[in-house]
């Protein structure tokens, strides 16, 4: 077995997800079957191979340096689930 109940809970916590005991059991079984399948990769000799993270060589792209019109606060806040004036509202963070 690749992944235990406590690891499932740890991963869920890292991903900011809550699982009930039934979900822990189900996700553990599903994740295990996928992770076991991934063992297939151990067949491949990858010694000294540079990993490929992007399909084509990618360099940094600088944007044009100059003032451009941009969206105002009103438009940026239009989708906010909770706002006050020009601010996003969240529960109190610092006591």
Partner 1 sequence: MLETARRYRKNGVSPVREVSGFLERITRDTCNAFVAVDRDGALGAAEEAQKLIEGGSEDHLAGVPLAVKDNICVRGIPATCASKILSTFVPACDATVVERLRKRGAVILGKTNLDEFAMGSTTSTGAFGPTLNPWDPTRTPGGSSGGSAAAVASGLCAGALGSDTGGSIRMPASFCGITGLKPTYGAVSRFGLVAFASSLDQIGPMAPSARDAAVLFEAIRGHDPRDSTSATAAHPPLNLDGLDLRGVRIGVPDEFFGEGLDHEVERSVTFGISTLENLGAQVKRISLPMVRYGVAVYYIVATAEASSNLARYDGVRYGKRAQGVGDLLDLYLETRTQGFGDEVKRRIMLGTYVLSAGYREAYYRKASQVRALMARDFERAFGECDLIAGPATPVTAFGLNEMAGDPLSLYLLDIYTIPANLTGLPALCVPCGFGGEGLPIGMQLMAPAFREDLLLGAGISFQDCTRFHRVKP
Give me the residues that bind partner 1 (CB under 8 A), please.
3, 7-8, 11-12, 14-18, 27, 30-31, 33-35, 37-38, 40-44, 46, 49-56, 58, 61, 63-64, 71, 75-76, 78-82, 88, 90-93
Q: Report which DSSP code applies to 82.
A: S
DSSP-derived 3-state class of residue 44 = coil
The dihedral through the CA atoms of 90, 91, 93, 95 has a sign that is positive
Residue 88 pairs in a beta bridge with 83
């Amino acid at each position: 077995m690749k992944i235990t109940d406590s690891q499932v809970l740890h991963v869920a916590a890292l991903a900011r997800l809550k699982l009930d005991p039934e979900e822990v059991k189900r996700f553990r079984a599903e994740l295990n079957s996928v992770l076991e399948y991934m063992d297939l990769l151990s067949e491949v000799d990858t010694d000294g191979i540079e990993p490929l993270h992007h399909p084509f060589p990618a360099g940094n792209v600088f944007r044009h340096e100059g003032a451009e019109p941009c969206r105002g606060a009103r438009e940026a806040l239009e989708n906010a689930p909770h706002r006050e004036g020009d601010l996003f509202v969240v529960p109190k963070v610092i006591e």
